[in-house]
Amino acid sequence: MHLSGALSQTVGQAREAAAGFGERVRVVDSGVASVALAEAALRARAALDAGADLDAAEAAVARARTHGLTQFTVPTLDYLRRGGRLGRVQRFVGNMLDLRPVLGFGEGRLRPLRRVRTDQALAEMLLSLEDRYGSAPLHLTVAHAGADPAALLELRAAALRSRLRVVGGRAQLIGGVIGAHVGPGLYGLGACPADL
């Protein structure tokens, strides 16, 4: 299983390499990356550990992608500007008004979901998870790009104070693929129903 083919050519290269192995190797485009990719991989592994075949494991990946929600935000707009994902005027206005994008995955790509004030970003992300999932039991991931244990603890504490019904979860460092797109200091939350 690979990160979204819309973000990287890795899945295409894997398909080329797997072509000579027939049905013994299956390449799956997860359609996501980072936190959502880890959740999809864990769901596929759980299906295989329970005795499921590859079709069922691939279906578990699809359910995690469809029913999960991962959201990120950034502490600075500078890296989005440098990477060409944000214009100069957008960066200027965003910094002036202290607005930051909340990003998520759609159609295999990292996309802006909405804009929020910097100091409200975490609360807004939690509220959107509460609105989407209500009291459904969830697996929740708190994630941060960078070596900042205090930031992970703050994310975890805020999630535990929320109305979310967290029955499992983990803390995860956000890898270089997403970090390369949006810069260091990125943080976010990923949720997926526990009963998928």
Residues 140 and 184 in one domain: yes
Q: Alpha-carbon torsion 109, 115, 120, 123, what sign?
A: negative
Residues 59 and 76 in one domain: no
Tell me how far apart the alpha carbons of residues 70 and 83 are, in angstroms, rounded to a whole number: 22
Number of folded domains that form the chain: 2
- Whether 1 is covered by a domain: the verdict is no
Residues 169 and 111 in one domain: yes
Beta bridge partners of 72: 103, 188
Tell me how far apart the alpha carbons of residues 151 and 72 are, in angstroms, rounded to a whole number: 13
Residues 46 and 76 in one domain: no
- Whether 2 is covered by a domain: the verdict is no
Residues 62 and 73 in one domain: no
What does the block give as tokens for 111? Answer: 């996309």
Residues 166 and 114 in one domain: yes
Question: pLDDT tens across 69-96, in order?
Answer: 999 998 888 888 887 777 888 888 887 8
* Burial class (CB within 10 angstroms; exposed 0-12, middle 13-18, buried 19+) of 136: middle
- Whether 4 is covered by a domain: the verdict is no
Residues 40 and 79 in one domain: no
Indicate the residue type of 69.
Answer: L
- Break the chain down into helix, strand, coil percent, rounded to 5: 50, 25, 25
- Whether 3 is covered by a domain: the verdict is no
Q: Which domain holds residue 105?
A: 69-193
What pLDDT is stored for residue 186 in this prediction? 87
- Whether 50 is covered by a domain: the verdict is yes
Is the predicted pLDDT of residue 147 greater than 70, yes or no?
A: no
Residues 116 and 182 in one domain: yes
Question: pLDDT tens across 115-143, in order?
Answer: 999 889 999 999 999 999 999 999 999 98
What does the block give as tokens for 91? Answer: 């960066």
CATH at residue 101: 3.30.1180.10
Confidence of residue 39 (pLDDT cuts 50, 70, 90): very high
Phi, psi values for residue 135, rounded to 5°: -100, 15
Between vectors from CA 136 to CA 55 and to CA 134, what angle results, nearest 5°?
130
Q: Which of 136-145, 153-162, 168-177 has the lowest mean pLDDT?
A: 168-177
Residues 173 and 88 in one domain: yes
Residues 92 and 181 in one domain: yes
Tell me how far apart the alpha carbons of residues 27 and 105 are, in angstroms, rounded to a whole number: 20
Is 171:159 a contact under the CB 8 Å cutoff?
A: no
Is 68:51 a contact under the CB 8 Å cutoff?
A: no
What pLDDT is stored for residue 149 in this prediction? 78
Residues 25 and 85 in one domain: no
Is the predicted pLDDT of residue 110 greater than 90, yes or no?
A: no
